[in-house]
Amino acid sequence: MIINKDDILFWLGILTAIWFAWAGMVWTYWAALIIAYPFGVISFFSWTRIKSENKTRTKYIPIILGFGLILSISALVYLLIFD
């Protein structure tokens, strides 16, 4: 099995998107801006490099990023309203 640049970018994008989705909900002292959002940006840029690959695996990164963004914004809105 030969690992090429697109494979590395895909796995980098998946791992950073999962980190963004998991850590993006931590809005205590605005920590999500420091520990989650840079990883979301890295994941987004790695996805833009491989989205023309025309494989089904490239659809997973924006789905995870969208889910993480919804979770993050929901957590922020909850904290702003009820806290």
The tens digit of pLDDT for each residue in 4-24 reads 999 999 999 999 999 999 999
Residue 54's pLDDT is: 84
| Count of Cβ atoms closer than 10 Å to residue 1 Cβ | 3
| Count of Cβ atoms closer than 10 Å to residue 48 Cβ | 13
Compute the average pLDDT of residues 52-80: 93
∠ CA 17-36-82, rounded to 5°: 115
Looking at per-residue confidence, does 1 or 62 come out higher? 62
Residue 53's pLDDT is: 86
* pLDDT confidence bin for 29, thresholds 50/70/90: confident
Contacts of 44 (CB under 8 A, 6+ apart): 61, 65
Compute the average pLDDT of residues 30-39: 92
| Count of Cβ atoms closer than 10 Å to residue 11 Cβ | 13
